[in-house]
Amino acid sequence: MRHVDFSPLYRSTVGFDRLFTMLDSLGQPEGGQSYPPYNIEKTGEDAYRISMAVAGFAEDEISIEAHRNVLTVKGERNEEAQSDGSELLYRGIASRAFERRFQLADHVDVVGAALKNGLLHIDLKRNIPEELKPRKIAIASVSADKARQIEAKTVN
């Protein structure tokens, strides 16, 4: 993908710095981060769900933090000693620590999280304040006899 330079637009726009930063970050890969895999789905008109595959992690090994518009999910696995004396020949189930960040839109809140069958489900809800919701403005009609005419006086 070609890199687009937004620096000329910074001079002519005010308050859109975050938008251009987000557009710049779209062209850059996340450092090749692909673990753990996740899905984002829309579950309602203003409801969303992030599902992450975190097989092998317990509830106390995962932390979820929402700060401003960033949702951070961290997982740190406690190394358990093999008490039965067996030796691990092949490790196919990842047990490495991870940290995944999600950029949330404005007015999106984390409702709850649940760990079920190796999937971490994080429920999100968009709560738009009343003052930011669009409202319908009624148009009043003015009859012809009530219309005012403004006359200008000429100055000599």
**Is the CATH code 3.40.50.720 the one for domain 33-79+89-128?**
no
Band of the pLDDT at 49, cuts 50, 70, 90? Answer: very high
The model carries a pTM of: 0.62
Tokens matching residue 13: 């726009």
Domain residue spans in the chain? 1-32, 33-79+89-128
- Output 23 or 101, whichever has higher pLDDT: 101
Alpha-helical runs (H) found in the chain: 7-12, 17-26
- Contact predicate 120/62, CB 8 Å: yes
Question: Tens digits of per-residue pLDDT, 92-132?
Answer: 776 788 899 988 888 888 999 999 998 999 999 988 888 87
Distance between CA atoms of 85 and 100, rounded to whole angstroms? 34
pLDDT tens digits, one per residue of 136-152: 888 888 776 665 666 76
